[in-house]
C-alpha cells in the first residue's frame, strides 16, 4: 500500500531568499511563524520571509512539554495568555491543520500552606480577569488523579489551582500548521539559513547578512528565544535576558493512567501522559547560564525524586529519553514584545520556560506591533522600557518552573 505514498505536495515551499522583503522574521519557532501568520491574516502584509538557521520548529517549540494554561497572576499576563489559550481552542479549524489541542484540565498542586494562599489569590485574580480557574480541595484532586498520593508524609496535597480548559497540544503540529498557512499566503520560509549580521544605517535597519547571502528589509522581527542576546548584539543593543537549558524526559509508554496535566511546583516537577502513553516529565532549569540543548543525568534523578512521593508509580517506570532546550529568561519572568533603539527592529523574546502556551497570542500581538510600529493593548505592558522604569510584571510564581 505504501507505493502510493509518493509525489505528495510539500506542506510548505522551500524557496531561495529574495533580495528584499517588507518584513523579515528571524526564527521559525512557533512565535516567529505565528507572527508571520497574523501579519498576513490580520494586517494583509505578505511580502514576508521567516529565516531559520536549522529546521522549523527545531528550537524550543519542538522541545517543550506542551502545557497550555492561562492561570497567571498579573493582568497583562492573564490577557495575553488567555488570548493565546482561546485562539488554541479553534486553531485546528483556523489553520485547517490538526494541532491536537487537548483541553484536558490542568492542576497546580498546593503542597505548602504558603502555596494554598498564593493559589487562592490567583483564583480571585483570574475571576476578575475573565480567566476561568477554581480552587479545588484534596478530595477532588484525588478524584481527578486517582494515581496520586495526596497523603504525604512530607508534602501532602492541600488542594490545587484548577483550570479545566488548560491542557496540551501537539507542539510540532503548531509549527507545521502555521508554516503551511504562511507558505500558502505566499510568504517565504527559509530553513538552513543562519543570520550572521544585522545591517543598520543612521539608526535604521537595512537588512541582514545570512549564510545564504544578504537580504534587505524594511522591518526586522527578532524572534529567536535563547539566542535573543546574540541577535541583539548583532543589532547594536543589549537585552535583559539570560539563556539557560531547560530539560525534560519521557518514560516508556504505559496504559492510560492520568488524563489531566499536573504541576507540583514545591517539590518541583510536572507530568502529563502523551497520546502514545509516555509520561512526559520536567523540572527546573539548569542552575547556570548555558547554550546546551541536551539533557543531563542529574535532572533525571532530581526530577523523578521530586515527584516520587506524589506519584509512587514513578518508582517502577523506565525512562526512555531526555532532552533540553535553551530558554530565554527575563528577571520578572515575563516576555518582551517591544520596539528597540534601532528603527524598524522589533523583539519578541523572554518567554522563558513558558512560551509554548503563548504562541497564538504572542504572534497576534507581535504582528500588530510590527505592522503598526506601536504595540496594541496585548503587548503594551511588555516593552523594554519596563526594565528602566522598574515596572516589572512579576510572574515568578505563575511561571511554575524553578529558575
Ligand atoms: P524557538 O522555538 O526556540 O524558535 C527560535 C528559533 O530561532 C529556533 O528555531 C532557532 O534555530 C532560531 N534561531 C536562533 N538563532 C538564529 C539565527 N542566528 N539565525 C536564524 N535562526 C536562528 N512552554 C509552555 O508554555 N509549556 C510547556 O510545557 C513548556 N515546556 C517546556 C519544556 C522544555 C524542556 C523547554 C526547553 C521549554 C518549554 N516551554 C514550555 C517553553 C517554550 O518551549 C518556549 O517558550 C517557546 O517554544 C519559545 O518559542 P520560540 O518560537 O520563541 O522559540
Ligand atoms: O509554563 O506551564 C508552563 C510549563 C510547564 C512546564 C514547562 N513550562
- Lowest mean pLDDT of 91-100, 108-117, 164-173, 393-402, name the range: 393-402
Q: Give the pLDDT confidence score for residue 100 in this predicted structure.
A: 98
Quote the ipTM score. Answer: 0.99
52 lines ligand 1 (CB under 6 A): yes
Distance CA 317, CA 307 (A): 12
The pLDDT score that the predictor gives to residue 403 is 59
Ligand 1 nearest-atom number relative to CA 247: 34
Q: What is the pLDDT of residues 116-174, one digit of tens each?
A: 999 999 999 999 999 999 999 999 999 999 999 999 999 999 999 999 999 999 999 99
pLDDT tens digit sequence for 190-203: 999 999 999 999 99
pLDDT at 66: 98
- Angle between the N-to-C axes of helices 30-43 and 171-184, in degrees from 0 to 180, rounded to the nearest 10: 40
- Measured between alpha carbons, how far is 103 from 162 in angstroms, rounded to an integer? 12
Residue 173: closest CA among 49, 279, 50, 64: 64
Average pLDDT, the chain: 96
Cα separation, 281 vs 272, whole angstroms: 7
Higher-confidence residue of 52 and 298: namely: 52
In this predicted structure, the answer to whether residue 73 has a pLDDT above a threshold of 70 is yes
Measured between alpha carbons, how far is 15 from 288 in angstroms, rounded to an integer?
A: 39
Q: What is d(CA 379, CA 394) in angstroms, rounded to the nearest whole number?
A: 16
- pTM for the complete prediction? 0.98
Q: How far apart are CA 400 and CA 329, in angstroms?
A: 13
Comparing C-alpha atoms, which of 66, 285, 46, 314 is closest to residue 167? Answer: 66
Q: Return phi, psi of residue 26, to 5°.
A: -95, 125
Nearest ligand to the CA of 335 is 1
CA 107 to ligand 1 centroid distance, Å? 24
Q: How confident is the model at residue 92 (pLDDT cuts 50, 70, 90)?
A: very high
| Cα–ligand 1 centroid distance for 51 (angstroms) | 14
Residues with CB under 6 A from ligand 2: 65, 67, 69, 270, 282, 353-354, 400-401
Spatial CB neighbours of 245, under 8 Å, sequence gap ≥ 6: 285, 286, 290, 291, 292, 293, 294, 324, 325, 326, 327
Q: Are 122 and 167 in contact (CB under 8 A)?
A: no
400 CB near ligand 1 (under 6 Å):
no
Q: What is the mean pLDDT of residues 252-260?
A: 98
Whether pLDDT at 3 is above 80? no
Check pLDDT > 80 for residue 184: yes
Q: Which has the closest alpha carbon to 231: 16, 27, 60?
A: 27
What pLDDT shows up at residue 333?
96
In the numeric block, the cell 480548559 is attached to 165
Amino acid at each position: 500500500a505504501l507505493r502510493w505514498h509518493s509525489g505528495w505536495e510539500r506542506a510548505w515551499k522551500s524557496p531561495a531568499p529574495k533580495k528584499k522583503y517588507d518584513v523579515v522574521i528571524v526564527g521559525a519557532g512557533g512565535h516567529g511563524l505565528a507572527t508571520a501568520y497574523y501579519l498576513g491574516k490580520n494586517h494583509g502584509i505578505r511580502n514576508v520571509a521567516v529565516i531559520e538557521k536549522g529546521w522549523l520548529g527545531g528550537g524550543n517549540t519542538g522541545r517543550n512539554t506542551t502545557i497550555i494554561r492561562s492561570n497567571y497572576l498579573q493582568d497583562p499576563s492573564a490577557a495575553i495568555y488567555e488570548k493565546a489559550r482561546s485562539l488554541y481552542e479553534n486553531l485546528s479549524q483556523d489553520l485547517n491543520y490538526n494541532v491536537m489541542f487537548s483541553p484536558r484540565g490542568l492542576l497546580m498542586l498546593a503542597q505548602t500552606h504558603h502555596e494554598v494562599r498564593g493559589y487562592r489569590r490567583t483564583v480571585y485574580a483570574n475571576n476578575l480577569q475573565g480567566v476561568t480557574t477554581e480552587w479545588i480541595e484534596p478530595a477532588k484532586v484525588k478524584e481527578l488523579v486517582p494515581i496520586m498520593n495526596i497523603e504525604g508524609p512530607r508534602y501532602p496535597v492541600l488542594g490545587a489551582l484548577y483550570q479545566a480548559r488548560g491542557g496540551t497540544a501537539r507542539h510540532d503540529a503548531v509549527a507545521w500548521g502555521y508554516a503551511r498557512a504562511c507558505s500558502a499566503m505566499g510568504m517565504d520560509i527559509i530553513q538552513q539559513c543562519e543570520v550572521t549580521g544585522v545591517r543598520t544605517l543612521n539608526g535604521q535597519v537595512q537588512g541582514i547578512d545570512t549564510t545564504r547571502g544578504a537580504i534587505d528589509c524594511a522591518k526586522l522581527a527578532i524572534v529567536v528565544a535563547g539566542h535573543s542576546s546574540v541577535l541583539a548584539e548583532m543589532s547594536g543593543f543589549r537585552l535583559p535576558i539570560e539563556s539557560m537549558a531547560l530539560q525534560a524526559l519521557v518514560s516508556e509508554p504505559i496504559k492510560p493512567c492520568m488524563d489531566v496535566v499536573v504541576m507540583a511546583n514545591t517539590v518541583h516537577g510536572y507530568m502529563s501522559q502523551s497520546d502514545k502513553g509516555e509520561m512526559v516529565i520536567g523540572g527546573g532549569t539548569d542552575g547556570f547560564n548555558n547554550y546546551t540543548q541536551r539533557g543531563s543525568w542529574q535532572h533525571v534523578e532530581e526530577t523523578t525524586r521530586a515527584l516520587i512521593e506524589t506519584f509512587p508509580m514513578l518508582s517502577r517506570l523506565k525512562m526512555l529519553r531526555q532532552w533540553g532546550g535553551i530558554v530565554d529568561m527575563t528577571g520578572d519572568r515575563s516576555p518582551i514584545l517591544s520596539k528597540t533603539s534601532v528603527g524598524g527592529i522589533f523583539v519578541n523574546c523572554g518567554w522563558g520556560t513558558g512560551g509554548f502556551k503563548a504562541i497564538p497570542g504572542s504572534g497576534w500581538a507581535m504582528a500588530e506591533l510590527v505592522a503598526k510600529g506601536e504595540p496594541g493593548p496585548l503587548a503594551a505592558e511588555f516593552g523594554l522600557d519596563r526594565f528602566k522604569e522598574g515596572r516589572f510584571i512579576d510572574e515568578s510564581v505563575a511561571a511554575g518552573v524553578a529558575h
